[in-house]
Amino acid sequence: MSKFIAEAFGLIGWIAFVAILVIAGPLITIWAMNTMFPALNIPMNFQTWLASLVLGSFFSKVKV
């Protein structure tokens, strides 16, 4: 029983890690762009987060 619980917590941990990356990745990208190119002045809101997520998924090399 304890092995099953450990595997379940491991799976939940990986799911949480991926969810955090999906949420934080676009925000970190927008922050980096604003830091490197201050003239861009990209606002941090849901619309720019979603646009960054879409662009990131479009240009990613992950094949499922």
- What pLDDT, in 10s, does the model give residues 30-41? 999 999 999 999
Which of residues 59 and 48 earns the better pLDDT score? 48
Q: Is residue 32 part of a domain?
A: yes
Model confidence band, residue 63 (pLDDT cutoffs 50, 70, 90): low
The pLDDT, as a whole number, for residue 32 is 95
Domain, as residue range, for 39? 23-64
For residue 3, is it within any domain? no
| Contact (Cβ atoms closer than 8 angstroms) between residue 40 and residue 33 | yes
3-state secondary structure of 31: helix
Give me 51's structure tokens: 């646009």
Strand blocks (E) in 1-64: none
Alpha carbon dihedral 52, 56, 59, 61, in 10-degree steps, equals 180
The answer to whether residue 63 sits within a structural domain is yes
* pLDDT level of residue 56 (50, 70, 90 thresholds): confident
pTM here is 0.72
Contact 33, 55 (CB under 8 A): no
**Number of compact structural domains in the chain:** 1
